């Protein structure tokens, strides 16, 4: 059964945008869920397809231009058939959420959103703040800089080492600038919703997918969480803080240690297989990255010349600022990304006592070129950081992004996937699999509690 498209009677268009290395099939479970509740004469579905596979390497802005072009073509097609779309919703998964945010800015800049009622903007496991690991000191260059160069233009933008056009800023910082067409376009939507995995998301960790400068779920063995009624064991109540569990008795501690030891011993065969096969996967990942980067650079040249099926003049002619007007690759990337540990801003006490892990904030690789405003911002964040929930060692522009994006009033839902370690895919039931069943709970919550028709 084809879940895409709709009839001429449909007035609401919902656009689904897949993520890195993805294709429209990754969004089928979301499409099926929508169609189960809203028939073709009520909701028109468009699964964006022009960024499939390695095309996602080409940069967020080019992906956004392709999606914007698809939306415009679909609107013209529907109108040509006698239909009349009056409402629009956009859903992005992973990298697709950032591509969708860029496309929204273009739609707004062209005046298209002025003719539509903007309903829902939803992201699932989208790295809104990029995928830069919150690390202090020069060791961040190992993954945050070198890792960025394995995914062509998109990698540089995800790791925020790019300078977008003539702005002198990373593209993600421009996307979150309060005065940009991108933020102005997002403000038009009635509801902003995001879902964020709290564990086992090896592609995009909690702080970036939940637009947060803290991570209260780093040690779940010592905490208890409250679930939303009716969505137990999957959707965490965003209003209920994580509660510390009372310290266990000595006997309970011994039982816990014994249980942990048994679990670790059972993982030995897996650890051995990782030690044997992961290096091979990494070699394949790096070799394929070199090939894909080369192919991506060729596509980018064609795209920039307007020879790739998208007339870029339609999307580059207006200012950015409102006040001026597959599987192996993914697994290898996740293994590399998951090896990074998050670090936190040193507190004033730590700085004074020199106990910031031998690597205080002021010795970070970026501090030599940091302006005074950024230094003051970091000092402020360090002052308000509390031991119970310390502030992550984000870059100054990431703190600014959080402040700006939070002004949209996101409805943020932490998700705890228990049955599968690949929570990034399980959240949206990327393919049919028994252990992805908890993702159906996530989609049910979104449709029942969040989606505005």
For the chain, how far is it from start to end, CA to CA, in angstroms? 23
For residue 226, give both structure tokens.
Answer: 């409250």
Q: What is the pLDDT of residue 361?
A: 42
Q: Are 157 and 59 in contact (CB under 8 A)?
A: yes
In the chain, domain spans: 12-246+273-343+392-450
Q: Which residues of 333-344 are buried (b: 16+ CB within 10 A; e: fewer)?
A: bbbbbeebebbb
For residue 47, give both structure tokens.
Answer: 């699964």
For residue 11, give both structure tokens.
Answer: 């007035």
3-class secondary structure for the chain? CCCCECCCCCCEEEEEECCCCCCHHHHHHHHHHHHHHCCCCCEEEEECCCCCHHHHHHCHHHHHHHHHHHHHHHHHHHHHCCCCCCEEEEEEECHHHHHHHHHHHHHHHCCCHHHCEEEEEEEECCCCCCCCCCCCCHHHHHHHCCHHHHCHHHHHHHCCCCCCCCCCCCHHHHHCCCCEHHHHHHHCCCEEEEEEECCCCCCCCHHHHCCCCCCCCCCHHHEECCECCCCCCCEECCCCCCEECCCCCHHHHHHHHHHHHHHHHHCHHHHHHHHHHHHHHHHHHHHHHHHHHHHHHHHHHHHHCCCCCCCCHHHHCCCCEHHHCCHHHHHHHHHHHHCCCCCECCCHHHHHHCCCCCCCHHHCCCHHHCCHHHHHHHHHHHHHCECCECCECCCHHHHHHHHHHHCCCCEEEEECCCCCCCHHHHCCCCCCCHHHHHHHHHHHHHHHHHCCC
Strand order, beta sheet including 411-415: 43-47, 12-17, 87-93, 117-124, 191-197, 411-415
Contacts of 56 (CB under 8 A, 6+ apart): 19, 20, 21, 22, 63, 95, 154
CA atoms within 13 A on the CB side of 388: 5
Euclidean distance between CA atoms 18 and 193, whole angstroms:
17
* pTM of the predicted protein model: 0.79
Q: What is the pLDDT of residue 377?
A: 81
Euclidean distance between CA atoms 175 and 155, whole angstroms:
16
pLDDT tens track, the chain, 453 positions = 678 899 999 999 999 999 887 899 999 999 999 999 999 999 999 999 988 877 777 888 999 999 999 999 999 999 999 999 999 999 999 999 999 999 999 999 999 999 999 999 999 999 999 987 665 555 455 555 565 566 677 778 888 888 888 888 999 999 999 999 999 999 999 999 999 999 988 778 899 999 999 888 887 877 788 999 999 899 999 988 677 655 555 565 565 566 556 655 665 665 565 555 556 555 555 565 566 666 666 766 776 677 666 766 666 666 665 544 355 555 555 554 554 556 666 555 444 444 443 344 433 445 555 678 877 887 887 787 777 678 888 888 899 999 999 999 999 999 999 999 899 999 999 999 999 999 999 999 999 999 999
CA atoms within 13 A on the CB side of 353: 8
Q: Is 239 exposed, middle or buried (0-12, 13-18, 19+ CB in 10 A)?
A: exposed
For residue 307, give both structure tokens.
Answer: 């020879």
Q: What is the pLDDT of residue 374?
A: 78
Euclidean distance between CA atoms 195 and 210, whole angstroms:
7
Q: Are 124 and 93 in contact (CB under 8 A)?
A: yes
Contacts of 198 (CB under 8 A, 6+ apart): 206, 217, 220, 236, 414, 415, 416
**Beta carbons within 10 angstroms of residue 142's beta carbon:** 14
Q: Is 167 exposed, middle or buried (0-12, 13-18, 19+ CB in 10 A)?
A: middle
């Amino acid at each position: 059964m084809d879940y895409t498209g709709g009839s001429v009677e449909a007035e609401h268009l919902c656009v689904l945008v897949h993520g890195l290395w993805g294709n429209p099939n990754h969004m089928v479970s979301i499409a099926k869920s929508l169609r189960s509740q809203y028939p073709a004469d009520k909701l028109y579905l468009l699964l964006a397809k022009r960024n499939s596979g390695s095309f996602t390497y080409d940069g967020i802005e080019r992906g956004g231009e392709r999606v914007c072009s698809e939306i415009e073509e679909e609107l013209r097609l529907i109108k040509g058939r006698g239909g009349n779309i009056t409402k629009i919703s956009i859903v992005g998964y992973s990298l697709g959420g950032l591509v969708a945010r860029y496309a929204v800015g273009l739609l707004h800049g062209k005046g298209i959103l002025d003719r539509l009622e903007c309903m829902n903007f939803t992201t699932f496991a989208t790295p809104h703040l990029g995928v830069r690991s919150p690390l202090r000191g020069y060791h961040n260059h190992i993954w945050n800089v070198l890792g960025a160069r394995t995914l062509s233009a998109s990698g540089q933008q995800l790791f925020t080492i790019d300078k977008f056009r003539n702005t002198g800023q990373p593209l993600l910082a421009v996307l979150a600038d309060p005065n940009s067409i991108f933020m102005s376009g997002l403000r038009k939507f009635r509801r902003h919703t995001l879902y964020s995995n709290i564990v086992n998301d090896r592609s995009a960790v909690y702080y970036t997918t939940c637009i947060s400068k803290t991570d209260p779920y780093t040690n779940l063995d010592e905490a208890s969480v409250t679930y939303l009624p009716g969505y137990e064991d999957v959707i965490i109540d965003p209003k209920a803080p994580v509660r510390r569990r009372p310290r266990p008795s000595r006997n309970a501690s011994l039982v816990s240690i014994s249980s942990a030891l048994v679990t670790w011993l059972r993982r030995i065969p897996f650890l051995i297989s990782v030690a044997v096969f992961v290096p091979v996967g990494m070699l394949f990942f790096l070799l394929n990255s070199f090939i894909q980067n080369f192919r991506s650079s060729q596509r980018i040249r064609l795209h920039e010349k307007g020879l790739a099926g998208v007339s870029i003049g339609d999307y580059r002619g207006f200012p950015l600022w409102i006040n001026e007007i597959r599987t192996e690759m993914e697994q290898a990337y996740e293994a590399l990304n998951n090896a990074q540990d998050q670090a936190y801003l040193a507190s004033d006490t730590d700085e004074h006592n020199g106990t910031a892990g031998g690597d205080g904030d002021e010795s970070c690789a970026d501090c030599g070129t940091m302006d005074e405003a950024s230094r003051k911002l970091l000092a402020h964040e360090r002052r308000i950081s509390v031991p119970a929930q310390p502030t992550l060692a984000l870059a100054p522009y990431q703190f600014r992004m959080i402040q700006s994006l939070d002004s949209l009033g996101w409805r943020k839902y932490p998700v705890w996937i228990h049955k599968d370690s690949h929570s990034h895919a399980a959240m949206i039931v990327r393919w049919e699999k028994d252990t992805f069943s908890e993702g159906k709970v996530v989609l049910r919550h979104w449709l029942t509690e969040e989606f505005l028709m």
